[in-house]
Structure 1
Amino acid sequence: MKSFRLFEIFVLLLCISFTIGLVSADGIIIPEPIPDIEHIPPLAIKYHHVNVTIDNQYARTEIDQVFLNDFYRDLEGTYIFPLPEEASISKFSMYVDNEELVGEILEKDRAREIYESIVRRLKDPALLEYVGRNMFKARVYPIPAKKNNIPGEKRIKLSYEEIVKCDSGVCRYVYPLEPERFSSKPLESVVITVKLKSNQPIKTIYSPTHEISIKRKDDYSAEISYEGENLLPEKDFELYYTLSEEDFGVNLLTHRGSGEDGFFMLMVAPKQDIKEKIIAKDMVFVIDTSGSMSGKKIEQAKNALDFCIKNLNEDDRFNIITFESNIEKFSDKLVSADSEEVSNALDFVNKIESRGGTNINEALLEALKMMNGDERPNIIVFLTDGKPTVGVRDIEKILENVENANTKNTRIFVFGVGYEVNTHLLDKISQQNKGVSEYVKPEGDIEVTISNFYTKIRNPVLSDLELEFENIPVKDVYPKELPDLFKGSQLITFGRYSGSGDSLITLRGRIGDKEKTFTYEATFPRQNPRNEFIPRLWATRKIGYLLDEIRLHGEEKELIDEIIELSLKYGIMTPYTSFLVEVDTEYGRPVRKEETRNLFDSILHKGEFWAPTGTGAVRSAEKTKELKSSDVYETGSERVKSIGTKTFYYKDDVWTDNSYSSEMKTTDIVYGSETYFQMLKDYPEIGKYLSLGKKVKFCLGNECFNIGEHGATTSTVTIPSTTTTIQEGEEKPDVLSQTLLIVGSIVIICAGILIWSRIRE
């Protein structure tokens, strides 16, 4: 009898612990004060390793991190987890030196008091970013002292489980990595590994926050990883993946503020095991063998050719053209990629030698003549390390000749080697012929670059892509020219839209000689505060295209003004716009527009932005390409910070909202005063702005607030509402229903166990 009573108590405690444990986050240790030391910062973190498994939306996250004590005495600290605002978490556990750590979960009001007390003690508002969230808090002692000049270490392991939210086939997992920026030193290593499984086919895998590596095993599983060294993380790790039974998955995310056109991100990806046959392709490799290619360059080029030829598909056709002063062809026409022709081609490559000048015009025209019009994808891979020195040498004439000769919709992919290439010629060739340019610096490896490229484009699955949006006007869509889709590839498109409502998105393309059409239902909302990264990435790409336009076709005042305005609004600092942190602005625009434009122009000239050849030319070509294809947003720099859709600039010792104007109604508030903390209590959503520093100017609606040394200290401040209502048909958080589902399931299981125990009794 007694044993059953104990069993019931155990079950009740177990259930309570599970239902309380619906939390998650990443932690920092705040040391307790030491009498003879005025200020102890949060402890440094040696490394931070995360292993995540997501199996049909059920995610388990395991964390391993080591904290460092740089003081010659043991420390006691408070381990703090600022919990994510939207999460449905269960089975939270924490171990310190392999012993389970007892902690407590604090609701947001109590958590705010803890944050506030730490801010008052440390005289640093950085933690105010997490006001409005719940908190997990635990005491950690002892944290071993430093000995023999080696910091003491405290290892902490955590794990938790959660349900990953999916909406309209788009799933989002977030790992709260950002708190690690409070480490007093850069982390030696940050590693995140995600093993993803799903019963539905996985299409796009994408992170807007980090450069990730993706290994796809099949349609139903993948491994994603991120690694960084010697860094202070500044943003959470976000991972999106899409699910679809269709051969081509098309998924939409949007962001739209009140009273403005919206932004969208469209993700397109094919199945791994697509039903349709891989498209046979025609390829011609056009390789510069002039005298300047001698030595290591020609050997690397030959090795790259070996790799490509050996990896042709059996239904492909191909040819090889080498050029110097003269042209040499492997064959007079395209040949099949059977074993005999491949063997002959490898012998041809082995005999290649470098000599003579550079006849670019004739080589490209000869390659274009070989292309057929039988609906196969036609691809030219063109590699050169120099400028045209033989035959037609006029750049515009070469471009005209190539354009006139390309009657079979051939894509030309260009590889420029070294700094002597004419980047304007190569970039225009690739852009006008639906390809891309890539540059191999003198210290780079031609073989690796071309082999990696060929691996990506080896298996075409859909060519000549077009997108249409029914009932919804769209504009400024990037990339402007949609690339072909290859097995294992994906397309991320950004754009603007007006209007709202349901729409049919139509994807058209060719599979072999057949035109295919795929339609997808989507909703473009009137208002959607989510996905705040989309406007910044859209602006980054647009700036890249505008810079490329003035680089290749000359500057125009309107284009320069647009680059400056977009850079200021979204905080996008490139090598050519970083000077904007010094510019005086009103309402986000330069006060002295002509002076700002002239500064921008002088920086472009100084950086050899318009030079066709040389180090500056290659650097400019690479930077504009990087901006045009950007998929990962930056949070800012030491003097620029992006928070949500706002951008702040550090000027005259003050973090100033880019939308601020001296003409706007402004309320002055003393940092650290009762007014300051009462305002934070009443409006916790502003904590993310206050966390920037002790002097901050931020604007909401038509009002601004100036935090500093002067102003209100005891009065009450009213802030315009920043709450956005999510309209019908827009993305809605499903946290509550998921949390209730977990809690309800646990309660039912526990009730069943208790009833069973009663019956047994």
Structure 2
Amino acid sequence: METRVFLCALVLCCSPFGFALQDEPKFEDDIFSDLDLDLNAAPRRERRQVKAVLSKETKPHMTELTVKTTIISRYAFTAVYCRMFNRHASAAEGTFQFQIPAAAYVSNFTMIIGGRVFPSQIKPREKKAKGEREGESPTDKPKNKDSNNQSEGNMETFRMAINIPGRNFAVFMLTYEELLQRRLGNYEHVTSVRPLQLVSRLTVEVTIVEHSRITHLEVLPLRNGKASSNTAKAVLPISTVIQRNNSFSRVKFNPSIVQQARLTTTGNLGDFVVRYDVEREMGIGDIQVLDGYFVHYFAPRDLPVVPKNVVFVIDTSASMLGTKMRQTKEALFTMLRDLRPNDRFNFVSFSNRIRVWQPGKLVPVTPLNVRDAKKFIYLISPNGGTDINSAIQTGSTLLSDFLSSPEATEANHNSVSLIIFLTDGRPTVGELQTASILGNAQRAVGERFCVFTIGMGDDVDYRLLDRMALENCGTMRRIPEAADARTLLKGFYDEIGTPLLSDIHVEYSEDSVEYVTQHLFTNYFNGSEIVIAGKLTNRSAETLHVQVTASNSDRSIVMETDVPLRQRQLETERRMKAAGLPKGMSLDTVRGIAPSTGTGTGTTTSRPTGADTNRGTKTDTKPGTEKKSGTDSDANANANANANSELESGTGYIERLWGFMSVKDGLRSRLRSHTSRERDEHTQQATNLSLAYNFLTPLTGMAVERPQVLADGTLAQEAPPTEAPAAATGAGTANELPAEEEQVGGAPSSSQSLTRKKDQPEQSSKVAKATGGATKRLSKKSVTISKTSADGDPHFVVEFPLSKLTVCFNINGEPGHVLRLVTDHSQSGVTVNGKLIGAPPPPGSHKQLRTYFSTITIVADKPRRSYIEVTPKKVILDGRDRMVLPCDKSVSVESGDLAVAIAARSNITVTIRGTIGFVILLHQYKNPAPYQRDHLGFYISNSKGLSKDTHGLLGQFLNEEVGLTELIADITTEQPTAGSASQAKQQPPRTALKVKGRTVPVVKKSRRIYSGQQTVDCWFARNNAAKLIDGEYGDYVVSHMFDTGNWPHGSNTD
């Protein structure tokens, strides 16, 4: 009997472990290699503890987290690479969660689940229909930065939860960009290291490349509490290594799993903070130039302090009771000690009633006044509600009355005036409507001073405070609920407590700059920096004239100089090359995970105005880490090949900085808008820029396809696509070329840009090959579109393949005119005409009127007369049958020798007899501005069937050869000066084009085609293409859209 009982007990004890071992896969060798385990320790038989351990084992293990940042002249690119492993046979939910700075923009997110790529797509944010629930969306959208509930101080959380198939890996790749702000004399870069579990391989690397010498660099202790790190001892985080020289620094934090466990067992390591500053140029500041864009950093020093007039408006409602009020009082006591003798101040406390410390005046800073002010603060007792409207009105009246008094004029003529407004709640008493409060505040302020707002805790109407500050030249600061409010309040006051300049105007020569970001500033505070980015009108310009005017405490300041652009560009290229960042490299290499780590990642990013936007990362896990098959290495090979092919097409960092700042400007202008029309214009502008540079902003959303995991824990196979994936998935297809034309581009993210789709058929085939899927390739051949085109305003581009030259010109036509683009009526029977539509110029444009193609007609007279008429809304095909096809649906039709393929809201491909092909781009605006018109772009994709006698504005160049020559420059005579003879001066030679025996002066320019997807260098002919084209403009104007008359044979002579 005892033997039976013993055997039964033995079976019961061993069975669970036996079954558990059947499901346990083989671990990677190094997952627990760093753990120091005591195998002699006796285990505790505590049921709760066992349950806890078992529950933790169901969560996928994070095997790697790598965060790499490259900071190039204050602009930071950060790439996050996270790899998880589901060690169980069944599927388990894996959550990727990462905190990013609130001021940063996400620029790409890609998942690789089970070897299959799931790229993200940035799309315009649309209003949800009434009754639509979040879960009804077919795509999972990461948390956008437009919501306040995801905020923690100055960090916000990006989160994505998906099911990971059993015994499989998941890779998450996130990139974001930010412009570092200078505060209190330092730039600060913060990396959140909170994986929420111990990580086998954890790396944080920050690389800094600056033009000027790095004068200060420090790495703070890991910041995981709410207390400020200013008071912490300067002890480097464990395993941190610093490499640096004059203008280059690299900081690496690489703790082992044991070192992580010594810091915390929860994986919440905290913020990894790097601070630095650079040497300042005296005078006008630091201007950097690259690829037609510039950035101007202006931070003067050693200036006298400008006196300030400040009114503190403090919330004393009942919600401030306790720690908030105590810390606020401590911060105010410290601020009082920092006031300077020439300053003037007052206090207003508010709840459901308003109290003014010194009614009707601002008092000077004297020991007696400071003592009385401390007494006023000490006696504040929180109670009642929150009357924000009356509080800001009272503070504004105090300051306005003082500024109007003779006392203010005599005392401080150039003083800086400001209100510091602090609250922890929403309006509950008095005026409650946000619009009324903002309107009243703006009228009371009257552009005479600035309002700086501070919100404490989670119950604050931050939108109200943000708009109040923006509309009144101030800024808003957020203090989290559990933060050290005293330290943060004092830090914010230190940033604005020492004004050095006021009324700063930065001007650039009008003919040299096409668009600049904000260049008028109310104040400049010590330790901060003014940053302006701009786009140059002419890339080949030699100099840029810059003028800065401002006022300080006792006089006006004017600084101006001519900046040598070419020298600055060479200097920028030299600095980047010295740091291993060559000018021509793509930003994928700048901000991707470095190849030295072996991750094999290579993200692809967007060219502005539609270049490769939303292209996802086509990579997989590290080579050699998974030993099931060779699929991972195949995926990596594909990804690396793609990255290498992109190497010379990356956007320069200054251009992306310009795009980043332009979006910020657009959002600020949108908040300050007073009419719905003005708001819509700013919204459209900021949305277009966000889509062009692939930024996740409050106006855009990110859609990511959710992987489908079957009941058995495996990943569902991809369905073989039968058409372009963009149409299959329902994504936006504006300006999308058909799938068979993927050499040119695919689906874009906006109606103003032509972009290549991330999941094109060819790419899907590569991924399917790596994962064992059965994706079917399209049988149609790719069509390579030439650069020969007429698009935009209208801008003409002509490619001469035989001469290996590209020429461009503009035609300033008249609205209503019909232009002959291609005519080969006598041979192939093909004629193409385009009708012009007029549009007013955008604000600031030098043009009085712009014209675009509103209708394009293609007439084919052989073997029988037929035609195709295209507008942005519909296509009329009149051949054997007459069909009217809408442009918002994808369809392919044939009628005799004509074939038409429509990619919905994107483009129309027309093929004639298989030897002549045209592509017509659709440019549509969802919410057009007054100066925007729906229009068309015309591209020649195949001209083999056109004869050598083809003519027209484009057709005349299809079979021509041209050459470049230098014109002998004139010799000019300089006027003699006193005591000297006149001197002859040889002018530099000019470039000219030899075409059909004519000589045409040209200059080198860059032009974007395919809706901005591709930039081409071309030789530009001025004066409406005079001497370049045969005849004159009027020779190409025809009577109607179906005119097929012969070319009138106009000519030009030298």
Query: For the superposition of Structure 1 and Structure 2, which TM-score range results when normalised by the shorter chain?
Result: 0.3 to 0.5
Higher relative contact order (CA 8 A, sep 6+): 1
Identify the structure with the greater helix proportion. Answer: 1
TM-score (norm 1): 0.46
TM-score (norm 2): 0.35
